[in-house]
Chains A and B, each alone.
Chain A
Amino acid sequence: MNITSLLAQDQTPSSFSLLPSDQSKWLLIVGTVLVVSILLFLLTRAPSNMRRPVVVSITFIAGFLYFLEWVLPKYRITEEGQEVVRQWFFGLSYDYSETVPILSRLSQLLTGILLALGVFSIFRLHVRRLLKRDPNWLFSLVLLSSLIAMAYIGFSKFGMERSVEYRLMTEEQLKATNMYAAYDLLFDKGLQTLDAAMFSLIAFFILSAAYRAFRIRSIEATIMMAAALLVLLSFVPLGIALTSWINPDSVAGNLRIESVGQWILLKLNTPALRAIDLGLGLGVFAMGIRIMLGLERGVSVD
């Protein structure tokens, strides 16, 4: 088992089940963390002109690994009576497509580390505000206590679900536990409800903004408003009911609200968006090449 599989919980119920007796695995984990920490520390201490080639090289290699996956030829062979696709790798017996899940796991780990870094950064910032008694320090206190409570309850529930007692519990018994009640209160009844409430505020802003700002002041604005109202009406049964008396199979059926709405979306909106997407695609392609080659400023260390 490689280190990425181990950390991504491959073939083991979870990394929490790593036994203290698995000394070689523990050593591997601790060793990797140490080596990476030392390398990162050295990198931060190195002068900018030395750091840049390292970062640019890593960026180039990371991009190139994905690029290779698209350009290396593939072939079909029969293995154990089944036809499988393999990817050529410079004449060696290695199948290049095996690289992709490894890269995927690495990218999951890296993003996980970035998330942890983000949490650490927020934590540090708000602890400082709290200690200095900055204006609005009370909000920092709320944030920190929510963060700690959610993390504690979440990890405790995660640990509990992996215990033997948990597996023997019925659903009712499980829901009666304090841990579940706390999780339910914080996540389902707290966070989720606040999330929905926060988003629903947009309805008020849209209504107010549409009433004040959506004014016909030119031909273009008139066309845009007519199109917007027709598409809006085609999305609600009440709007559809306005023209439901027209026979959908007749020529006049094309004038039903839902037909007009679909026509606007498919025949007017689609070509316009394709043009935008094409331009965007070319831009992203150029940007990708610039990043890979280290030509884009602000991406690496400068």
Chain B
Amino acid sequence: MIEQKPEQTIWHSLQTLDRRWLYLILVILVIWQVIAPLKTANVVSPPAEDMYTYLSSLQPGDFIVVESDWTNSTRGESRGHFESLMRLLMRKKVRFVLTSIDPQAPQVARDVLEMLVKEPGNNNYKEGQDYAIAGYYPNAEGHVNGMATRLVDELATKIGRNSAVLTGINDLRDAKAVVLVTASSSINRWYERMRGKTKLGLFCTAVMAAENYPYYVSGQLFGLVVGAKGAYDMETLLAREFTDPQFKNYGSGLRYMSPLAFALGLLILAVIAGNVAMFRVKKMGARQ
């Protein structure tokens, strides 16, 4: 007896779609958007706006601590964060010291900084004078505790006690903020150990957003910049404040926002298509 094959519809095909087709669509979309990004209107999220407003209110000569814990694995999000943060600090002439608990991160940050200091409007920032790179601290717990208790002692081992960047700084209270650009849970050490000595801000990847929102709502974070959208938010705000055409306000945030938007669009479509196909096939099965 010949067995009759069940009828194959487009919904059946969608359910058993070879994943390589999805990969191909994703690759085409991303390449297209990297080459010719679509610039769309942006609505800045309130937590990113809070970050920008506070940092933008800093005065020339103010000092902040920046902990940069990102590497190229999260470049799509973190590089845009770091670039926009540095552009803002340099234009406001804010002194900063960079620390890190990731061994690769200081070099990655240094490479970006070397590029940014040459941009017009960034006040020709000089290492050792306007900013310092304290580098890698292998033990995060000890490092943050040291920074919170005796900031100068903690930094002196790397950048020297008499560094121009530390002029007038005796304690973490003298810093206007601690800002983290991170793709890891390094912010937790600061929540635990900072003791309210100064303000804390966070630039994090999108997957970390949910776990850090409670700290923003409680006021422990003065601002929260999340994912590629956050980087784009910061660049949008930079463009609003610095209108001189010589200034470069848009960078990685815009470049990576558009491919991400299309990739997420594809993801949403794929989820919807997968579910519709499942329901249609179920319905057809019930009918038969």
Contact = CB atoms under 8 A, between A and B. Distances in A.
Q: What is the interface of chain A mostly: helix, strand, loop, or mixed?
A: helix
Contact of B229 (A105, A235, A241): A235
A11 B161 contact: yes
Contacts of B227: 235
A296 interface: no
Interface size class of B (residues with CB under 8 A): 35 or more
Nearest to B230: A235
B139 A203 contact: no
B41 A237 contact: yes
A192 B161 CA distance: 32
Interface string A204-221: 101110111011100000
B267 A206 contact: yes
B275 A235 contact: no
Contact of A258 (B40, B43, B211, B262): B43
Contacts of B257: 236-237
A215 B264 CA distance: 17
Interface in B115-168: 137-139, 141-143, 145-146, 149-150, 153-154, 156-158, 160-161
Contacts of A84: 170
Contact of A211 (B19, B107, B158): B19
Contacts of B265: 236, 238-239
Nearest to B147: A104
B269 to A, nearest CB: 9
Contacts, number: 177
Nearest to B274: A211
Interface in A241-279: 241, 244, 256, 258, 262, 265-266, 269-270, 273-274, 277
Interface in A37-93: 66, 69, 82, 84
B203 interface: no
Contact of A108 (B42, B142, B170, B267): B142
A187 interface: yes
Given A207-B266, A229-B268, A235-B229, A69 B149 contact: yes
Contacts of A273: 210-211, 213-214
Instruction: Please name the 3 residue pairs, one residue from A and one from B, whose CB atoms are nearest each other, closest first.
Output: A107-B142, A104-B146, A111-B138
